[in-house]
Structure 1
């Protein structure tokens, strides 16, 4: 019988990190378990069961991570809908966890210094009843809703769920210097929408356009810009509705 249990303990370690068990506690637990197996000569699967199930038991019994606020970094950033998924992948690999989207649509992130994990993200289009359908499809796969903006919903999960031990983050890259990522297409969409509003308001206040005309045109322009943004993003990113 093999005595090399690195694969099992690697999976166990990654799962415990995903459950936010303190690193020191993980090391002590793994050392104790390895010593126990050395004495009994049994395989870890026979003694403890599947690594993921065993980690759930250990993680559930673990105390909550507490400590001074400076043990975790926080960072807030924003991007247009043409770049958000690419940047979420980049920053997720650096250990940044999106906690929520604020009222301005910015990603509010946190990164624990001692127990940082790699995170993966996905974006879905949600409309009305479709929201429950999307949640029902993704929740069983470990995806957690972390924010919504207009008709987009963002989901996160620890990368260990798909990459296993390879998702462990041993060193933390420096916090990005930028917090504003708006590309050319994003600026075109923003400026175009503002231009429509400006033209309508200027015409109205100069008394060249009646409110009964201005309001429907403004409303139509707003919906038109929203539709254009959604269509171009969906086409370029391959989202489904």
Structure 2
């Protein structure tokens, strides 16, 4: 299945009317990304049809109201992710997976959205037997990121028919990144430490350029992975 993913995707993009040059560029970028991270394309990008419509939204045309499912990707730091998962789960968002950039890839049925609930587990020592221990209570894995694993289950398991959303669900949030005050404070603290290190090096060497060079190196080292992540996010 994974070997045929990109050929089927490129064929579907052509059917949707995407220009041939963009089809070739997109296929090359995706192939390079998969070769680098070694991920399964279905887990990384989702089903071919859904991903093709994300890559060619104009060619695919608008999705009629009430038809199919809608998708949404978002990310948050671990200080607020559980709270947000609970909130969005109550709005009918089901997490299908966590992608290589740490984003929750969600879908919601347009016609009969259901409420979902989530839990997060620390898996620093492996997850042997974790899935089996949680399965009897209806929990199923829906994503992993570094040392965490997330599990989901429909609220129907405990709430019955009341788990189905009544009326039209709220629109997908405009935001895609949710950072807590704690995380922002940590970043600010790291910036202060880096600045202090630069000043200390300048004083020690008697040359302001030494401290500037250190700060430039630290900034480049921090921005490089962010730039890669942003570039990859533009492709997916």
Compared with structure 1, are the counterparts of its residues 188 and 165 closer, same or farther at alpha carbon in structure 2 (3 Å cutoff)?
A: same
SS at match of 2:118: strand
Cα RMSD between the aligned structures?
3.1
The residue aligned with 1:125 is 122
* 1:112 corresponding residue in structure 2: 109
Structure 1 pair 202/90, CA: closer, same or farther in 2 (3 Å)?
same
Which residue, 81, 85, 89 being the options, matches 1:92?
89
- Supply the distance in 1 between the matched residues of 2:110 and 2:184 (Cα, whole angstroms): 35
> Pick from 154, 157, 161: which aligns with 1:158?
154
SS in 1 for 2:79: coil
SS at 1:132 equivalent: coil
- Aligned equivalents of 1:124, 1:158: Cα separation in 2: 18
Partner of residue 187, structure 1? 184
Q: How many residues align?
A: 144
- Alignment map for 1:12-51 (pairs within 5 Å): none
- Which runs of 5 or more residues in structure 2 are unaligned? 1-48, 54-62, 206-213, 219-236
Greater CA deviation, 139-148 or 116-125? 139-148
In structure 1, stretches of 5+ residues that fail to align are 1-65, 209-213, 219-241
Instruction: State the TM-score, normalizing by the size of structure 1.
Output: 0.51
Structure 1 CA distance for aligned equivalents of residues 189 and 102 of structure 2? 19
User: Which stretches of structure 1, 4 residues or more, deviate above 4 A after TM superposition?
Assistant: 193-208
1:174 counterpart = 2:178: no
Instruction: Name the structure, 1 or 2, with higher relative contact order (CA <8 Å, separation 6+).
Output: 1
Name the CA shift for 1:162/1:199 in 2 (closer, same or farther; >3 Å).
Answer: farther
